[in-house]
Amino acid sequence: MERGTGVTTERDGIHGLYRDAWGIPHLRAGSAPELARAQGRVTALDRAWQLEVERHRAQGTSAAFLGTESLAWDILARRARLADTARRCFDALAERDPESAEFVQAYVDGVNDGLAAGARRAPEFAETGLAPGRWEPWTPFAVWLSTHVLFAGFPAKLWRAHAARHLGPEAVGLFATDGPGTSGSNGWLVSGERTVTGQAVIAGDPHRWIEDPGVYQQIHLSCPEFDVVGLAVPGVPGIAHFGHTGTVAWAITNAMADYQDLYEERLRRTGAGVEALGPDGIWRHATRHTEYVDVRGEERVPVEVIETDRGPVVAGGPEGLDDGTPLALSLRQPPRVTADLGFGALLPLLRARTVADVDRAFDQWAEPVNVVQAADTEGGTLHRVAGRVPERSFANRLGPVPAWEPGHEWTGWHETPRAGLTDGIAVMANQRGPAAPLGIEFAPPHRADRIAALLAEKEHWAAGDMPAIHTDTHLASAAPLLDLLAGLDGLSPEVERLRERLLRWDRRMDATSADAAAFAAVRSALVRGLAAQPVFAPLTDVPAYPEALLPWLNLTVRIGYALEHLLRAPELYGIDRAALAREALEETAARPPRGTWGDTHRLAPWRALTTTSFAEPGLSGDHDCVLCTSAVPGLTDLAARGPAARYVWDLARREDSRWVVPFGASGVPGSPHHRDQLPRWVEGELVPVVTDWDQLMRETDV
């Protein structure tokens, strides 16, 4: 055993933990289970605080050391039964695929091996008084569920119902655009016929909430069966989303499919507990028990956990919502129904040699539903949807449906669509692409169209060309507002100068651009003006849904993201949009932004401890740019979401691949590798993917 690492080694250096110049872990072991254990241990050493925060969030126990700010999430995690679903998924995997279950168990053993040592390195444990706990075999499943339970955006169904209730059914289409936290990812595949090497290149950037430590972990896993580099999710073994085995590489984007349903439930209390009315008119027993959430510095909070035949009740109960609304909502999602998260794909992906192998592996995928792109050195390519989407009525997709009415049951599973390449290119940026039959709301086509247009500018591409696409800042969605400004007349000289300046602007949201800052200021003023219109006032009065779901029902946020649709609509409830644009222009001219877009459009990462602070950089990009660093027009220019990683997979030479994450390989504040990649990430630069073991440092003391 190499001192301090806990990873099996031999004196000739074949097995063990290695690091490259960026502190990225490279692991060698004698078997897949040994490698999983090593991956778990090194993740615990590098990211103990992150792992324990995620474990507690998945279990609904984070408020015990983080305080009241985490209470709303803990209540949702308990009511949605995330931990119980995770247990079911592990038990089912162990029964049907013991090898994959052993792989997960080995990872958990490694995490438990390393947590105590990792916690000693992480100051957050002492700051909060948290002691490292113990991971169970099902904990990685719970972390995955917790990370993705809101990924499909089921709270958007609440917004659609709310908007339609007050404005009519046409409001659903007017506000139809991606909502908080659901899109922004880019992925593109350039086949060998369009590259300088004759081998394919895959590139992209998953878009998520930016967290510190980051949600993706750069890692290299090697054993006699396989040798894979990729982006792992801390707390989950293997490399599910983005990987390169040397002969085949793959990547994913969110398919924007709709696969979670909300059911309005009629519940009643009886002497035996709680009953729910089913579609056959019969009242049936619903399971019920009470759990208690401990809150740091406060009284613990009781949570009634109810589950009907549809699923766990996530809002309301027999007495309705807290405001007296007679409503309860249950959540039905595939993992709870099937006890399957798709973890049976983890080992087959690591062992993949061709796109056919990747294709077969993703046949087992379940959650979340993704669009997969893959290519191999034999010239094979793949562009498909992977995941589990239920067949049911169209009404289920739009909003909550009554559980007591027939016709809303799940009747089977959709086939996952496939797509080909066009002129040797495939682009996916959460737009209405191959997954169109499976969803309701998709991202606007601007990012996908822009990537396709850039790739059409020349015939042959190299891996080194891709960062220029990653960092493109052209904002096509600026057009409706600029068109509105162009039609104004009778402006004062000062306001006219601002208008003419914006109409000459190159529509690039560069951090150094004062014009971009001025445009963003006008846009935010217009969003606020629209949100203040009396016709929208009823939308500000939302039912007392759980706090964790309320961001999806914020009127200003919804108008900000749907602004393009609202300005393009032939008519908008009698609102004089030109007059509001004039007012927004005048407001901005009277109080112009000081400085450039990057002065206010700054990185705002999520941290479990808000007491930790850093001077975060200004950013280029915007929500509909390829460089998708999302502000919330009308509320803030700060960017809490953005590229959680960038990658370029080169099939000609894996060592010519590149990647970067927002911060670094280490989750330990003060570590040399905690934030060393941040300057590269901000500037759009990538760091090398090292695969030559002779270029790595073998770590002997952690």
Query: Do the Cβ atoms of 547 and 73 come closer than 8 Å?
Result: no
**β-sheet bridge partners, residue 649:** 202
Buried b vs exposed e over 591-617: b needs ≥16 C-beta within 10 Å? eebeebbbebbbbbbebbbeeeeeebe
DSSP 24: -
- Pair of tokens at residue 627: 């460089």
- Pair of tokens at residue 632: 């919330």
Cα–Cα dist 420/362, whole Å: 17
- Pair of tokens at residue 364: 């087992």
Cα–Cα dist 663/657, whole Å: 19
> In sequence order, which residues have a C-beta less than 8 Å from that of residue 666 and are 6 or more positions away?
23, 46, 47, 213, 672, 673, 674
Q: In terms of residues, how long is the chain?
A: 702
Angle value at C-alpha 677, between 671 and 683, nearest 5 degrees: 150
CB atoms within 10 A of CB 72: 15
Cα–Cα dist 362/378, whole Å: 19
CB atoms within 10 A of CB 46: 29
> In sequence order, which residues have a C-beta less than 8 Å from that of residue 701 and are 6 or more positions away?
3, 4
Ordered DSSP codes for 433-492: STTGGG-S----THHHHHHHHHHTT-S-B-GGGTHHHHT--B-GGGHHHHHHHHT--S--
Using DSSP's 3-state secondary structure scheme, residue 344 falls into helix
Using DSSP's 3-state secondary structure scheme, residue 226 falls into strand
Spatial CA neighbour of 697 closest among 58, 11, 22: 22
Task: Count Cβ atoms within 10 A of the Cβ of residue 685 and give its class: 0-12 exposed, 13-18 middle, 19 or more buried.
Answer: middle
User: Is residue 185 flagged as an active site residue?
Assistant: yes
Query: Do the Cβ atoms of 131 and 125 come closer than 8 Å?
Result: yes
**β-sheet bridge partners, residue 262:** 331
DSSP 694: G
Identify the helix (H) or strand (E) that includes residue 374: strand 370-376
Torsional class of 23: left (φ above 0), alpha (ψ -120 to 50), beta (otherwise): left
- Pair of tokens at residue 161: 């119902």
Cα–Cα dist 571/312, whole Å: 41
Given the residues 62, 70, 100, 185, the one annotated as active site: 185
* Catalytic center residues: 185
